[in-house]
């Protein structure tokens, strides 16, 4: 889905330029650029928006201003309203994840899509929600349902991004492959010898089960060759340290009675 057109982000009556800038920042984080503003309270453009965008200028530079929500979404085929407020409208209520999947499918079919967000204080008007095909609600704790504008956009933009790129960026190195079983077996045998010497396996009849549990625990970690060599060095250092302690104790003169 790498070639699909990202959804437009429509902000209805946003109050603070700083919040518009914060929205532009999260849009840039997740590959969205089509920002549409409906009657921003302080007019447009506003320098404070660029200041709070922290360099994410392109959504702001290309932002378009509309008088009504209807005008802002006129070219869109699928538009979702985002709100946590219960309304009397009989519209489907979906999560951001479900919304992102639906928007991605529609966009892949060539349909322009968008997400509508309300103002900071009052949210969306019922009349504006009625222009949308569904309501997107973030499943947050009912004890405190308030999200700021940029947070709401970020959650939805993140879910959209997962539909396009669901693997870590190439800059993240996955690391070396796990060590082969021969290396792990050598580590197991060394560790078990030292544990046997130190009296760890007690009672003796439980030794096989204890060894199996230890091996299973270390196997789950998928250690690399270098990590196995480091662990073997740790075991060797501990065993040498124990040997030195025993030597000192053996050389210590006995006290006279």
Q: Measured at the alpha carbon of residue 116, what is the angle toward residues 114 and 118, in degrees to the nearest 5? A: 165
Sorted by sequence, the CB contacts under 8 Å of residue 51 that are 6+ apart come out as: 18, 21
Note the pLDDT tens digit of each residue in 137-177.
998 888 887 789 999 999 999 999 999 876 555 554 566 78
For residue 122, what pLDDT band results from cuts at 50, 70 and 90?
A: confident
Say how far apart CA 167 and CA 174 lie, in whole Å. Answer: 11
Question: What six digits make up the tokens of 60?
Answer: 């702001």
State the average pLDDT over residues 218-225.
88
Note the pLDDT tens digit of each residue in 59-113.
999 999 999 999 999 999 999 999 876 567 788 899 999 999 999 999 998 899 9
Instruction: Kindly report the average pLDDT of the chain as a whole number.
Output: 87
Question: What six digits make up the tokens of 196?
Answer: 């046997």
Say how far apart CA 132 and CA 81 lie, in whole Å. Answer: 6
pLDDT at 78 (0 to 100) = 93
């Amino acid at each position: 889905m790498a070639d699909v057109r990202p959804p437009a982000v429509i902000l209805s009556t946003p109050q603070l330029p700083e919040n518009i800038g914060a929205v532009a920042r999260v849009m840039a984080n997740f590959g969205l650029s089509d920002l549409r503003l409906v009657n921003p309270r302080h007019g447009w453009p506003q320098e404070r928006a660029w200041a709070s965008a922290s360099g994410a200028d392109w959504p702001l530079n290309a932002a378009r201003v509309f008088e009504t929500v209807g005008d802002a979404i006129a070219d869109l085929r699928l538009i979702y309203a985002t709100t946590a407020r219960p309304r009397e409208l009989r519209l489907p209520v979906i999560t951001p994840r479900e919304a992102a999947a639906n928007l991605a499918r529609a966009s892949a079919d060539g349909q322009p899509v968008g997400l509508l967000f309300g103002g900071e204080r009052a949210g969306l008007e019922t009349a504006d929600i009625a222009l949308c095909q569904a309501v997107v609600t973030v499943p947050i704790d009912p004890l405190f349902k308030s999200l700021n504008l940029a947070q709401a956009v970020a959650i939805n933009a993140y879910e959209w991004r997962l539909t396009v790129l669901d693997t870590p960026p190439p800059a993240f190195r996955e690391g070396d492959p796990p060590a082969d079983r021969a290396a792990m077996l050598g580590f197991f045998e060394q560790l078990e010898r030292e544990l046997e010497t130190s009296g760890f396996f007690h009672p003796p009849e439980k030794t096989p089960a204890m060894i199996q549990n230890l091996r299973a625990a270390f196997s789950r970690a998928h250690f690399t060759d270098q990590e196995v060599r480091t662990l073997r060095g740790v075991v060797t250092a501990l065993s040498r340290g124990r040997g030195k302690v025993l030597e000192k104790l053996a050389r210590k003169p006995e006290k006279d009675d």
